[in-house]
Amino acid sequence: MPNRRVVITGLGVVTPIGHALESFWANLVAGKSGVGAIDRFDTSQYPTRIAAQVRELVIEDYIPRKDARRMDLFVQYACAAARMAVEDSGLSIAAMDAGRIGVWIGAGIGGLETLEKQHSVLLNKGPGAVSPFLIPMMIPNMAAGQVAIMTGVKGPNGCTVTACASGTNSIGEAFQLVRMGKADAMICGGTEASITPVGISGFCSMKAMSTLNDDPKKACKPWDLNRGGFVMGEGSGIIIIEELEHALQRGARIYAELIGYGTSGDANHMVQPDPEGQGAILAFAMALADAGLKPEEVDYINAHGTGTQLNDAIETAVFKHIFGEHSRSLLINSIKPLTGHMLGAGGAVELISTVLAMKNNLVPATTNLETPDPECDLDYVPGQPREKEVQVALSDSLGFGGHNAVLAVRRYS
């Protein structure tokens, strides 16, 4: 049985630069950064005091307040983005076989805020005072579980936890399920909410984050000679994918076709990527082969692009290895200077931005790229967005633990 074609029919975002597709895209194109001073807790003793927080989200617009109180923030974000994506797709779950629709939503860390708060309760008031909702609020799979409860879908339900690659892997696994006939539609993506005292202090201790506290909008500088680390972000990106004929029969609007997926492991280090990029090279090669693409057919890559020296240099080397001379014809960007590094949500939000770039024939710029690192000498779209009729694009994510994931999309025809 040949693989079924899979298309993207719905998008939903909760991000530091917008909670709707229109505002998200407008701010992305305008280069409006969501990075600012952390205001949720006292950061005076922290070397990094900035992050890209989700602000002004009225969660009651998406889920009842009583339900939200029993959800960690990462679950709330996923529910809101899923509600938007389902509505955007026009998918009528009530009119379908609920067993043929599934959910696959990844999270890199899960309910860190809940864990911290309840640990404080334990220390101050004893074990009897710990909330019975602690475990179901903090476990990473609860985003997928709660979205299924909210929507009533009963098909395949899962959660991939691969650090910063969680969202990309989750979409890839959902893609496989639809392509193989295990489901007709999937609600999939990633979510994260780790801007907490422990979350920020842990990354600070690793010395991985930018400390440009006095100029937060300029703090994340992928591929720039003066980069100083990544900036933490949060939020959720959810997409609706469907088998092509299923989408056509209901008259769905199709954003793009999802055509390939590659995933691999570095087997190298807990947090550092393979210095030769062998794992990432394998993931890109797998995605291209899975999609039946030649390297020269790719127009654009939405890169991991964290703004750390190791990631930037290795990712550049990977692109040159995979694409050869064609690497100099590619448009490559990173949206992390605006959204921050959204960890488990990052890959999903970045795929959404990739699809919107394809839809609008416009590739957003990599902001803050002012003094290019000579070692990173490809076209990383500095300055202004670039008009481009993108036919084929890739989006990649590289996670702690050596997890690599790449998705390929094509303009639908």
What amino acid positions are annotated as catalytic residues? Answer: 164, 304, 341
Pairing assessment for the beta strands 35-37 and 256-265 based on DSSP bridges:
unpaired
Q: In this structure, what token pair is assigned to residue 135?
A: 């475990």
How far apart are alpha carbons 172 and 162 in whole angstroms?
12
CA angle 399, 155, 112 (to 5 degrees): 40
How far apart are alpha carbons 396 and 377 in whole angstroms?
19
Q: Name residue 406's beta-bridge partners.
A: 262, 396
Phi-psi region of 23 (alpha: psi -120 to 50; beta: other; left: phi over 0): alpha
DSSP-assigned letter for residue 315: H
How far apart are alpha carbons 29 and 336 in whole angstroms?
13
How far apart are alpha carbons 375 and 397 in whole angstroms?
21
Q: What is the amino acid identity at position 153? A: V
Q: Euclidean distance between the first and final Cα of the chain, in Å?
A: 22
Q: What is the 3-state secondary structure (H, E, C) of 331-379?
A: EEECCHHHHCECHHHHHHHHHHHHHHHHHHCEECCCCCCCCECCCCCCC
Q: In this structure, what token pair is assigned to residue 67?
A: 């339900």
The Cβ-side half-sphere exposure at 403, using a 13 Å CA radius, reads: 19
**Helix orientation angle between 309-323 and 278-291, rounded to the nearest 10 degrees:** 40
